[in-house]
A and B are shown apart, each in its own frame.
Chain A
């Protein structure tokens, strides 16, 4: 496992005046990540995992927080919460077996939509993937998820049909 790439952390001021930190996820984010997932609506979880996800399982939270920073890279967006820092969004990519492309996934806390943090998180994973020499980034998006398809297009992704399956679209961006 590579060292924690702390130098990739950035602090941003949002248009609404709030300050957030975008930084690579750490194993000690376990509790924060679990809480973040636990508070997502069924709709948000469905859009991300594309199936029913019940209360977040430990194994899933481990998968999301204990990464190698090489083949699997993830950023969380944190904000000062009521008593401690809390996770309000996250984005990640995992390198495909071809070693030149990667797949991304992004989740935003239900109360943090339209604040701009999704764009900041995507920027973080896109520039990291690019700097690591990856050539393209792709994602599997539900065809009914018009918001995500619009968002991806805005970031320069192209939506493609998936042969034999109209329920999903593949979005791809050259890095």
Chain B
């Protein structure tokens, strides 16, 4: 296959990347910690962690996992943390100890968590105390042997630590009651690890770095197996793409998207770690006034986000001052996860003076597949060009390439593409073509210069602010309610989040109310998956042999919006 898009590459971007110098994420970390020792690696709530400190703390944590808990190479450790200093410490500690990391959304409900812990076979979990009650509820039915609990202020200097930990628990009452026998505190774990020391762990590119969960069309999420080789390849690919505008050891990126999501994990944490940059972790980006206040105090050169987030910032009071202060300083703004609206891109460019550069990827590809050029000053409305060492093909349903410019499924090959799904050979077989192409489930086309354009999704999936919600999972939960006979979920356009979930329900008990059903759903589903709208019907539209007509439901939903 001729990679004709290479001719459209900006000057300075290589056609291939080489991962031999850093074959695993541990090598990448070791290298940056040695080169940028005094530089701040992570900043959160005003507290800095230098590369040197990140090196020491992650070693201590890794030593605790390895020597204290006796976890072995390939054992799974779940990390259930928002963007706080403990996240990179736990992550790099686990990777240094040779463990496989299972990222968990801290807002998961007990049943969602239970599924992920059971499916991944996690032996241990690190959780922020604020979410320990969820772990407590899920634990009874999982094989998890060790729980490490951390408080929000655990890695802050003493005075701030006491203050924050006290305020979170007693003033803001953000810690629901929990009880987990034998749980270890993060600070104790670090102290114990420091005494024991990290033994030498053999690690290669084929070792599994992450089981990164992503929704499945048939109900529960499945784990994409991402090896160290996959991850370092994508870090090199993304770094090669972005570094034409960035300088090693000088950059600061705003990390507002959660690190448990593959986009921020790779594009922010790992890429900027490689570049010796600083990640400013925003713990709660939904608190827009505090977020904007933090941006005002920070000199940042890069920011990533999803359309919803950029839109919210542009609407926020005080953001104009941030923009004024950022002129000439801010170099790159990257959007991914969901389609970027032209209106948002244009407002962003007017406000900040730099374009919103759209990228494209998916969990199964670690995730970056395509990116727009950083050196051209305008929004293309396209997903971009395939990044180095990556092949993109537009295939028809037989797996044959369509003519240039025609629509087909966007398919990917490259070193960043996962090996398969964890314990799901059938789903793995379905997602790859016989020639080894990863089928993205997105329909698109490629123009004569190699720019890929998104047309529509072929998979039944609802994308809410960059997070994927699968209709079947919502239907499954709704039908667990004894008052529900049948349920159908569809995505409807939403001004704020791109898409939102609408749920159509056939009642079994006439007394069932939308409020009661929503409350039930809230016990099983994370917030973004919850229906924005519940409507009752006598029956759901179906074909003669009983297949659901989602298109009909969508049309109804659109017509009813008024």
Contact B546 A166 (CB under 8 A): no
**Chain B residues near A164 (CB-CB < 8 A):** 551
The residue in A52, A57, A94, A95 that gathers the most chain B C-beta atoms within 10 A of its C-beta is A52
B459 touches A60 (CB 8 A): no
Q: 17 interchain pairs (CB within 8 A)?
A: A50-B548, A51-B472, A51-B488, A51-B550, A52-B471, A57-B485, A63-B546, A94-B544, A103-B544, A144-B430, A146-B397, A149-B397, A159-B397, A165-B551, A167-B457, A167-B459, A168-B551
Please indicate the chain A residues that have their CB under 8 angstroms from the CB of B439 in the complex.
Answer: 144
- Smallest CB-CB separation from A51: which chain B residue? B548
Q: Assess the B543–A144 pair: CB atoms within 8 A.
A: no
Closest approach, in angstroms, between the C-beta of A137 and any C-beta of chain B? 11
Instruction: Give bound CA distance, A143 to B395, whole Å.
Output: 13
> Contacts A162-B551, A167-B457 given: A92-B397 contact, CB under 8 Å?
no
Q: Which A residues contact B (CB, under 8 angstroms)?
A: 42-43, 46, 48-52, 54, 57, 60, 63, 92-96, 102-105, 140, 142-144, 146-147, 149, 159, 162, 164-169
A134 to B459 Cα, complex, angstroms: 32
> In the complex, what residues of B have CB within 8 A of residue A63's CB?
546
> B-side binding surface: helix, strand, loop or mixed?
mixed
Q: Tell me the bound Cα distance from A164 to B485 in angstroms.
A: 28
Q: How many residues of B sit at the interface, in one of the four size bands? A: 20 to 34
A148 to B217, CA, bound (A): 16
The reply to whether B219 and A42 contact each other, CB–CB distance below 8 Å, is yes
User: B401 within 8 Å of A by Cβ?
Assistant: no
Contact A52 B457 (CB under 8 A): no
State the Cβ distance, B550 to closest chain A Cβ, in Å.
7
Tell me the bound Cα distance from A49 to B218 in angstroms.
Answer: 11
- The answer to whether B430 and A167 touch across the interface, beta carbons within 8 angstroms, is no
Q: Is B458 at the interface (CB under 8 A from chain A)?
A: yes
What is the CB-to-nearest-CB distance from B15 to chain A, in angstroms, rounded to a whole number? 31
How many Å from the CB of A7 to the closest CB on chain B? Answer: 24
Identify which of B427, B430, B439, B480 gathers the most chain A CB atoms within 10 Å of its CB. Answer: B430
Q: Cβ of B543: which chain A residues have Cβ within 8 Å of it?
A: 103, 140
**Roughly how many angstroms separate A94 CA and B542 CA in the complex, as a whole number?**
13
CA distance A16 to B456 in the complex (A): 43
B544 touches A96 (CB 8 A): yes
Interface residues of B in 459-497 (CB under 8 A from A): 459-460, 471-473, 475-476, 479-480, 485, 487-488
- B545 and A54 contacting across the interface, CB-CB below 8 Å: no
Complex CA–CA separation, A45 to B397 (angstroms) = 22
Known A42-B218, A51-B488, A149-B397; judge A144-B547 contact (CB<8 A).
no
**B282-305: which have CB < 8 Å to A?**
none
CA distance A147 to B218 in the complex (A): 16
The complex places the Cα of A144 from the Cα of B459 at a distance, in Å, of: 7
Given A43-B426, A60-B546, A144-B430, 20 new contacts (CB under 8 A): A46-B217, A46-B218, A46-B219, A50-B548, A50-B550, A51-B471, A52-B471, A54-B476, A93-B545, A104-B545, A105-B546, A105-B547, A143-B459, A144-B459, A146-B397, A146-B430, A162-B551, A166-B455, A166-B456, A168-B551
Give the distance in Å from the alpha carbon of A104 to the alpha carbon of B551 in the complex: 19
Nearest 3 Cβ contacts at the A-B interface? A52-B475, A105-B545, A94-B544
User: Are A144 and B550 in contact, with the CB atoms below 8 A?
Assistant: no
Interface string of B536-558 (1 = CB under 8 A from A): 00000001111110110000000
Closest CB in chain B relative to A131 CB, distance in Å:
20
A46 vs B473: C-alpha distance when bound (angstroms): 11
Closest residue of chain A to B551 (Cβ to Cβ) is A165
Which residues, 488 to 546 on B, are CB-close (under 8 Å) to A?
A: 488, 543-546
Q: How far is the CB of A71 from chain B (nearest CB, A)?
A: 9
Check B443 against A166 for contact (C-beta < 8 Å): yes
B441 CB–A CB distance under 8 Å: yes
Which residues of B have CB within 8 Å of A96?
Answer: 544
A54–B479 CB distance below 8 A = yes
> Which chain A residues border B551 with CB–CB below 8 Å?
162, 164-165, 168
* Residue with the highest number of chain B CB atoms closer than 10 Å, among A48, A51, A104, A169: A51
CA gap between A104 and B485 in the complex, in Å: 24
List B contacts of A46 (CB < 8 A): 217-219, 472
Contact B546 A52 (CB under 8 A): no
Residues of chain B contacted by A52 (CB below 8 angstroms) = 219, 471-473, 475-476, 479, 487
